[in-house]
Amino acid sequence: MDYFSESIKKAIRTVPDWPKPGVAFRDITTVLQDKTAFRKLIDAFVHRYHGEEIDAVAAVDARGFIIGSALAYELNASLVLVRKKGKLPFDTLVEDYELEYGTASVELHKDAFKPGDKVVLVDDLIATGGTMLAASRLIRRIGAEIVEVAAMIDLPDLGGSRKLQEEGLQVYTVCS
Ligand code: PRP
Ligand code: HPA
């Protein structure tokens, strides 16, 4: 583990049995509350993409917005919101994805990218990978190019990052 990962990992609070028995929930609020850890977190992403040609950062509702907005600002890139269904006011594209029980949907404004835009897709955490996969499909449908799918935390036992790689996506996570 590198300099960034180790100190950020220490700042993550794991809450047992939330939201239901058996789940060890990774709570990122403790990273955000810790000004040193929060700065290191954003620095890790900035360091990763600094000097690369990135047109836009696409951030996933809701915790991805926190990282995505700071990263877009630092990279001098635009910020695009991938939202849960029913939140975007203009014409949208929709992708459904599986949850443990039932399905959910993410949406993107049709004019969010120009074809060929180079995009980093950001969220706080990859679990099953369903959310990131649905978001990446939206971005590809508009014709933008996903440079990388990036998250603060990977839960590798849930297989999400592997699934994303199998779909041809490059994946970066700060810690697992
Ligand atoms: C969490 C997390 C990711 C997603 C990861 O969000 O912030 O977006 O789940 O899970 P997956 O890899 O299995 O798809 P959640 O859907 O709980 O929404 P929230 O950010 O609005 O709380
Ligand atoms: N933390 C935050 N979001 C999540 C988690 C978690 O541990 N698992 C699935 N989504």
1 pLDDT exceeds 70?
Answer: no
The residue whose CA is least distant from atom 18 of ligand 1 is 62
2 pLDDT exceeds 90?
Answer: no
In a domain, 168, yes or no: yes
In a domain, 94, yes or no: yes
Atom of ligand 1 nearest to the CA of 63: 20
In a domain, 22, yes or no: no
- Maximum distance among all Cα pairs of the chain, rounded to whole angstroms: 44
Q: What is the ipTM of this complex?
A: 0.95
**Is the CB of 127 within 6 Å of ligand 2?**
yes
Ligand 1: centre distance to CA 67 (Å): 14
Q: How many domains does the chain have?
A: 1
Angle, helices 63-75 vs 35-49, to 10°: value is 60
**Is the CB of 152 within 6 Å of ligand 1?**
no
Report the percent of the chain where pLDDT is more than 90: 95
In a domain, 24, yes or no: no
Most ligand 1 atoms within 8 A of CB, residue of 123, 132, 149, 171 to mutate: 123
Question: At 147, which CATH number?
Answer: 3.40.50.2020
Give residue-wise pLDDT tens across range 59-91: 999 999 999 999 999 999 999 999 999 999 999
In a domain, 23, yes or no: no
In a domain, 26, yes or no: no
Task: Tell me which residue range forms the domain holding 137.
Answer: 51-175
Give residue-wise pLDDT tens across range 136-176: 999 999 999 999 999 999 999 999 999 999 999 999 999 99
In a domain, 3, yes or no: no
**Segment 68-75 long-range contacts (CB within 8 Å, at least 24 positions apart):** 68/122, 70/42, 71/42, 71/45, 71/46, 71/120, 71/122, 74/42, 74/46, 75/46, 75/49, 75/50
Give residue-wise pLDDT tens across range 97-113: 998 789 999 999 999 99
In a domain, 158, yes or no: yes
